[in-house]
């Protein structure tokens, strides 16, 4: 069984799909970072007086403005180099490093597609994507090849199936089936030109909610089946382009549509696609018909590679399920929300202030907006772990002023998906004395009922 699996993973397949994937991924990731610079998103890393960090990554430094700009520019240059196949391994490593450093730099900037870009950049760097139609081949740095091991495709294919499946699984909740998030998000868009009346219709949130569940759960299996693939791809095109029109979402819808086309069709699809086939034919000639390709000799590092891929697959399957280990609704508690492909599932609004009790008994009220950017504050409101981090920050600030030790309490009022307003953390708990941990936070209050 293991021998058959290994043979299947190292079976040579046409490299044409990987060449196109390399170029598209490199260009789109460079554009994402260029857009961040052009739209001023760098301010979210530069201006805050307080930075929120992921658990176990609070040791990372807070980058200075020149370094933040340099990381953006490095990602842009690396993306272009990856697309061109110029010093590909080094460029892919730099691209992965720049994206990962920015991803880890500020927890309130967590976006699922940014996490996906980090993973895809890293996975692409493991592949021989520069072995055809690349600057490395033209410069003689690597020998050309018309094939790539099948595992290179299966790895990326697995990742996209995970994203689609867990995005659908996360939608199987009462709020989504009652269309609550989409009712909140679509209402302000009723004044859009042309599509505004459709978005403002009372029926549209319900249609989009149920269609979204069906799409996420079914699209990957239907794309994998040859008979339904064209129809499933048409549905994917409609879904992602609709997201562009309604929500924007930067490069992510285009990336999703591109990577879906690159992975779910046969590896030789660029050779039969108008606009690509002539370019591919002149730069990636086939050495033999696909059926005649001899089985590839397994490299000496095959056991190590297969073990690493197996561990990666297990992590990607299990990590999104960890929220089931916590009590309560993950969309309220946020425990297990990150890295689980929970995309656009909740709307949280509200307010929060802190009460700082000094050793002499005096109480001071602190407004987080004094220290935070508007985006940070909007994320702080509904994320208990960030609420805890800010409490620790305040305790440190008072200690530095010689006024500690202090007790810090949070008065929070949060509305989740139009449910009743509730405190999200217990106002009687001294958060300054509570540690950050993977254990459930007992001071998070129960989620509010659907109706009251």
pLDDT at position 105 = 94
What are the Cα distances from residue 197, in Å, to 134, 179, 210, 447? 48, 18, 20, 34
Please write the tens of the pLDDT for every residue from 368-398.
999 999 999 999 999 999 999 999 999 999 9
Label residue 300 by pLDDT band (50, 70, 90): confident
pLDDT at position 290 = 47
User: If we measure between CA atoms, which residue out of 106, 148, 172 comes closest to residue 345?
Assistant: 172
Rounded Cα distance between 162 and 243, Å, is 20
Residue 376 lies in a domain: yes
Residue 27 lies in a domain: no
| The dihedral sign for the CA sequence 164, 170, 173, 179 | negative
pLDDT at position 294 = 52
Residue 401 token pair: 């002023």
Q: What is the mean pLDDT of residues 333-343?
A: 94
pLDDT at position 191 = 85
Rounded Cα distance between 207 and 177, Å, is 10
Please write the tens of the pLDDT for every residue from 396-407.
999 999 997 999
298 pLDDT higher than 80: no
Please write the tens of the pLDDT for every residue from 125-173.
999 999 999 999 999 999 999 999 999 999 999 999 999 999 999 999 9
Please write the tens of the pLDDT for every residue from 84-98.
999 999 999 999 999
Is cis: bond before 405, omega within 30 of 0?
yes
User: If we measure between CA atoms, which residue out of 143, 133, 161, 180 comes closest to residue 18?
Assistant: 133
Q: Which residue has the tokens 């046409």?
A: 14
Please write the tens of the pLDDT for every residue from 227-284.
999 999 999 999 999 988 888 878 999 999 999 999 999 999 999 999 888 899 888 8
Q: What is 48-61 written as a DSSP string? A: -SS----TT-TTS-
Are 396 and 50 contacting, i.e. CB atoms less than 8 angstroms apart?
no
Residue 399 lies in a domain: yes
pLDDT at position 450 = 80
Residue 181 lies in a domain: no
Domain count, the chain: 1
Residue 373 lies in a domain: yes
Domain span holding position 358: 348-433
Can you give the C-alpha Rg of the chain in angstroms? Answer: 24
What are the Cα distances from residue 343, in Å, to 25, 129, 168? 21, 30, 9
Rounded Cα distance between 400 and 58, Å, is 19
Residue 403 lies in a domain: yes
pLDDT at position 7 = 84
Q: Which residue has the tokens 């998103």?
A: 41
Residue 206 lies in a domain: no
The residue with greater pLDDT, 280 or 285, is 280
Please write the tens of the pLDDT for every residue from 120-131.
999 999 999 999
291 pLDDT higher than 50: no
């Amino acid at each position: 069984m293991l021998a058959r699996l290994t043979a299947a993973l190292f079976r040579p397949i046409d490299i044409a799909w990987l060449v196109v994937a390399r170029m598209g991924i490199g260009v789109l990731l460079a554009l994402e970072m260029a857009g961040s610079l052009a739209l001023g998103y760098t301010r979210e890393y530069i201006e805050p007086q307080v930075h929120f960090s992921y658990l176990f990554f609070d040791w990372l430094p807070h980058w200075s403005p020149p370094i933040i700009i340099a990381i953006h520019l490095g990602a842009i240059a690396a993306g272009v180099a990856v697309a061109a196949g110029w010093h590909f391994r080094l460029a892919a490593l730099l691209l992965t490093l720049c994206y990962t450093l920015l991803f880890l730099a500020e927890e309130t900037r967590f976006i699922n597609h940014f996490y996906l870009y980090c993973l895809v950049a890293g996975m692409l760097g493991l592949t021989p994507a520069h072995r055809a139609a690349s600057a490395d081949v033209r410069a003689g740095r690597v020998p050309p090849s018309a094939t790539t091991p099948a595992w290179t495709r299966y790895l990326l294919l697995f990742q996209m199936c995970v994203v689609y499946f867990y995005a659908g699984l996360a939608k199987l909740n009462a709020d989504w089936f009652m269309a609550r998030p989409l009712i909140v998000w679509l209402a302000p868009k009723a004044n859009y030109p042309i599509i505004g009346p459709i978005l403002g219709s009372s029926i549209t949130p319900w249609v989009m909610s149920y269609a979204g569940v069906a799409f996420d759960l079914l699209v990957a299996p239907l794309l994998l089946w040859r008979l339904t693939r064209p129809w499933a791809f048409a549905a994917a095109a409609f879904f992602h382009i609709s997201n562009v029109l309604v929500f924007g979402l930067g490069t992510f819808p285009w990336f999703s549509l591109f990577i879906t086309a690159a992975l779910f069709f046969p590896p030789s699809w660029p050779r039969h696609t108008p606009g690509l086939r002539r370019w591919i034919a002149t730069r990636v000639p086939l050495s033999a018909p696909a059926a005649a390709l001899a089985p590839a000799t397994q490299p000496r590092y095959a056991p190590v590679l297969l073990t690493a891929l197996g561990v990666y697959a297990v992590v990607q399957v299990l990590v999104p399920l960890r929220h089931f280990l916590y009590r309560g609704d993950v969309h309220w508690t946020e425990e297990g929300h990150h890295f689980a492909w929970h995309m656009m599932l909740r709307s949280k609004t509200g307010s929060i202030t802190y009460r700082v009790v000094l050793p002499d008994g005096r109480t001071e009220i602190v407004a987080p907006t004094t220290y935070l950017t508007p985006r940070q504050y909007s994320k702080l409101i509904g994320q208990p772990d960030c609420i805890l981090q800010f409490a620790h920050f305040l305790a440190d600030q008072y200690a530095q002023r010689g006024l500690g030790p202090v007790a810090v309490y949070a008065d929070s009022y949060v509305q989740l998906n139009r449910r009743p307003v509730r405190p999200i953390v217990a106002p009687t708990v001294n958060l300054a004395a509570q540690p950050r941990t993977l254990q459930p936070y007992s001071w998070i209050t129960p989620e509010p009922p659907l109706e009251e």
